[in-house]
Amino acid sequence: MTNATCNITHYRYPLFTATYSGVLALGLPLNTFSLWLLLCRLGVRSVPLIYMANLALSDLLFTLSMPLRILYYARRHWPYGHLACMVSGTLFNVNLYSSSFFIMFISVDRFLAVVYPLRSRPLRRIGVAWKACAAVWVVIGAMAVPVALTHHARQNQCVGWLCFEGYTQDEWRFGFNIICVAAVVGNAIPFAVIVGCTVVVVHKLRVQKASSSSSSSSVDKSRMVWLLVINLVIYTVCFIPFHVAVVLFGLHKLRFLQSQFPFFDFHIGTICLASANSFLDPLIYYFSSKILKMGRGHTGTEVKFHGSA
């Protein structure tokens, strides 16, 4: 993260220790329960549940990497070897971008269900959803290979072994190209799609709500709006600041951007926000499960608003 790795009293160490402890304490039970609920109780029998199950799996994998991160930032030393550093560091990026795509898929699915409920049925099939999720894991896995190559334990003269920090200028130069591609493909494009879907669906539902006299239908629409808004808020708060910060910090590290702005501090804060997505995502599962349950209780509403969900 920085060349000033001899400063083991830097505030990032207690901050990350506290942040990752909170992520573990909240994310592990929430995502374990969510995955159990989605797989065992709801049975992933619909397209939205497939996307949510994959999102929960991604969050759970990231949460399971927290103990090593907590120990490292608490002890300021990495005694666990290269492989553990590589896996733990790479899981952050895997979670970040797989979550981006799965949240985008949920928004697109709701967009198709509301705006094109009949025409979208061939796209909104369980087989298509599983293939889309498999494609995400393959693409993210391929993108993770070059990222993993930069995540290895480094020996430091001050504190011993480092992980997640202490990158050289050459490593930053190599990694910055990956960062820029990931920021566009894995962040900016999904964000634009999520915003577009949210705006169109909210407008459509408000028009339909105004012309509907059914109270149950109104509740369904309100929950749908909440789902899309929560999708958008989680994405905006957790992912957008991180990518802005890491790009600016990279430009500053490579001396393309000369400024007194505290880019490193901004970057540290946004890492904490990005990590929080793993325990905020269960809000998506909560509102989605409510929508699907109520939709099944009202056959006409299910056809009109959820299609083959």
* Per-residue model confidence (pLDDT) at position 135: 97
Question: Which stretch of 88-102, 187-201, 245-259 has the lowest confidence by average pLDDT?
Answer: 245-259
Which residue range is the domain that position 159 belongs to?
A: 12-306
93: domain CATH number is 1.20.1070.10
Least confident of 101-105, 150-154, 169-173, 291-295: 291-295
Of residues 285 and 39, the one with the higher pLDDT is 39
- pLDDT for 306 beyond 80: no
> What is the pTM for the complete model shown?
0.87
**Greater confidence, 198 or 211?**
198
Q: How far apart are CA 275 and CA 234, in angstroms?
A: 11
Which residue's entry shows tokens 């609920």? 37
Mean pLDDT of 91-104: 95
pLDDT confidence of 301, banded at 50, 70, 90? very low
Helix 81-115 crosses helix 66-75 at what angle (to 10 degrees)?
A: 130
Structural domains in the chain (count)? 1
pLDDT of residue 5: 52
**DSSP string covering 33-73, please?**
HHHHIIIIISTT-SHHHHHHHHHHHHHHHHHHTHHHHHHHH
Does residue 301 or residue 174 have the better pLDDT? 174
In a domain, 4, yes or no: no
Distance CA 223, CA 110 (A): 12
Of residues 122 and 158, more confidence is placed in 122
The residue that leads in pLDDT, 257 or 59, is 59
pLDDT at 2: 46
**56 vs 297: CA distance, rounded Å:** 26
Residue 291 lies in a domain: yes
- Please, which contacts does 134-138 make with residues 24 or more away whose CB atoms are closer than 8 Å? 136/54, 136/98, 136/101, 136/102, 136/105, 137/54, 137/98
According to the model, what pLDDT value does residue 307 have?
38
**7 occurs within a structural domain:** no
| Residue 3 domain-assigned (yes or no) | no
> What does the block give as tokens for 110?
């709701």
pLDDT of residue 300 exceeding 50, the answer is: no
CB of 106 closer than 8 Å to CB of 284: yes
In a domain, 6, yes or no: no
Asked if residue 234 belongs to a domain, the reply is: yes
pLDDT of residue 303: 35
Q: Does 112 fall in a domain?
A: yes
* The pLDDT value given to residue 37: 86
> For 28-39, what is the mean pLDDT?
91
Average pLDDT score over residue span 289-296: 57
Residue 89 pLDDT > 70, yes or no? yes
Residue 223 — very low, low, confident or very high, per pLDDT cuts 50/70/90? confident
- Model confidence at 103: pLDDT above 90: yes
Alpha-carbon span 69 to 88, nearest angstrom: 8
Lowest mean pLDDT among 20-24, 136-140, 218-222, 248-252: 218-222
223 belongs to a structural domain: yes
In this prediction, residues 254-263 reach a mean pLDDT of: 87
Residues 6+ apart with CB under 8 A from 275: 19, 20, 23, 62, 92
Mean pLDDT, the chain, rounded, equals 85
